[in-house]
Amino acid sequence: MAVKGFLREKSLYLLLVVFALVLPFLITDRYVFQIVIMGCLFSICTLSMNLILGYTGQVSLAHAGFFGIGSYSVALMTKEGVSFWLALPLASLLAAATGLLIGLPTLRTRGSYFAIATLCFGVIISVVAGNWIEVTGGYTGIVGIALPSPLFFPGIGPISFQTMVAQYYLVLAFLLLTLLVMHRLVYSLFGLGFMAIRNNEILAEAVGVNTFAGKLLSFVVANFFAGLAGGIYASLIGSISPSTASIDLTFNWLIYLLLGGAATLAGPILGAFVIPVILDQIQFLQGYRMIIFGILLIVVIIYFPRGIMGAISDLVRRARACYERGKGMKRAAAG
């Protein structure tokens, strides 16, 4: 029975990947395409946030700060003539390294102290971004960031990223990479270690899990991907400002993640696509939108802490239990 479930999952994944690959041929509207591209980028952000929050149980409010480090790094490097393809990994590593520096002192403390320290760090990033005019351009930010330079594929020739289709495949590729990494990390003994930290830190220590190392690692890896997403964002959008590192972004991703379903791999992606679309649809509500989201956040964390995906898997489990019970009763009646 467990095997059957697993197979079903694999084919579902395949279906989704195929769907994602043919998507450009189904979409003609530029605006929708933009939303999809942003959805993919934000998915990388929510997936990485999920690693710290959903799986390891730590609240990091500096996520947008690392996104910002990634964007500004790529922006500055490409402006100096460095190729995007070199700047991106460097920027991601820089974000990861900064994460290490910040994580080392702050992860030794209680969870709530860590959360506040990350919040403070995130604010420091955005304040520095806004005031270090010589480097970051202050509140006007940096404009005219180049698109990723064309890639040469043997046999196909150069692929430029001028078109939205190409940009979409670029972002999709990185999203799939992020998914692969997360999947491998989470569905392993290693990932169990993260969840152990989340569930019961003391017991985790007692069974030999180095909780500090685990928290630090999930933090650093998550920040790597935040920086990665930021770097891609800078290049595709072309201009960035301190708002790229603002706490509001972190709060947004937090909402996407929790509504979609933390501690799952589908939840963050679901949230990152569905919620912005809903937000877009209810533009007419203007200021009330965010109030609704604030209320939603509270309601979800109190009554539906596992988000939409959690609700779905609960439903599935209940349905399966009903089915099994029904089968059992039939067997009992027959035998």
- To the nearest whole angstrom, how small is the minimum distance from the Cβ of residue 215 to another protein? 12
Which of 76, 197 has the CB closer to another protein? Answer: 197
* Residue choice 170, 198, 228, 236 for contact with another protein (CB under 8 A): 198
User: Can you tell me the distance from the alpha carbon of 106 to that of 60, in angstroms, rounded to the nearest whole number?
Assistant: 11
Q: Are 218 and 212 in contact (CB under 8 A)?
A: no
Specify the 3-state DSSP secondary structure of 222: helix
100 binds another protein (CB under 8 A): no
Which of 98, 235 has the CB closer to another protein? Answer: 98
Looking at residue 153, the DSSP 8-state letter turns out to be E
Which of 22, 207 has the CB closer to another protein? Answer: 207
The alpha-helical segments, DSSP class H, found in 238-334 are 247-260, 266-281, 287-303, 307-334
Which of 142, 197 has the CB closer to another protein? Answer: 197
- To the nearest whole angstrom, how small is the minimum distance from the Cβ of residue 22 to another protein? 29
Interacting positions 246-265 with another protein (CB under 8 A): 251, 254, 258
Q: Long-range contact list for 74-82, CB < 8 A, 24+ apart?
A: 74/145, 74/230, 74/231, 74/232, 74/234, 74/235, 75/142, 75/145, 75/234, 75/235, 75/240, 76/135, 76/142, 78/145, 78/146, 78/235, 79/142, 79/144, 79/145, 79/146
147 binds another protein (CB under 8 A): no
* Residue choice 66, 67, 121, 253 for contact with another protein (CB under 8 A): 121
- To the nearest whole angstrom, how small is the minimum distance from the Cβ of residue 314 to another protein? 12
Which of 67, 224 has the CB closer to another protein? Answer: 224
Looking at residue 243, the DSSP 8-state letter turns out to be G
* Residue choice 206, 332, 333, 334 for contact with another protein (CB under 8 A): 206
* Among the listed residues 132, 53, 57, 67, the one whose alpha carbon sits nearest the alpha carbon of residue 96: 67
Q: Angle at CA 163, nearest 5°, toward 235 and 31?
A: 85
- Using CB under 8 A, count the residues that bind another protein: 68
203 binds another protein (CB under 8 A): yes
Interacting positions 21-80 with another protein (CB under 8 A): 53, 57-59
- To the nearest whole angstrom, how small is the minimum distance from the Cβ of residue 260 to another protein? 14
User: Can you tell me the distance from the alpha carbon of 172 to that of 224, in angstroms, rounded to the nearest whole number?
Assistant: 17
From the list 78-86, 98-106, 226-234, 327-335, the region that binds another protein by CB under 8 A is 98-106
* Residue choice 22, 26, 156, 207 for contact with another protein (CB under 8 A): 207
Per-residue tokens: 216: 């630090």
140 binds another protein (CB under 8 A): no
CA atoms within 13 A on the CB side of 55: 31
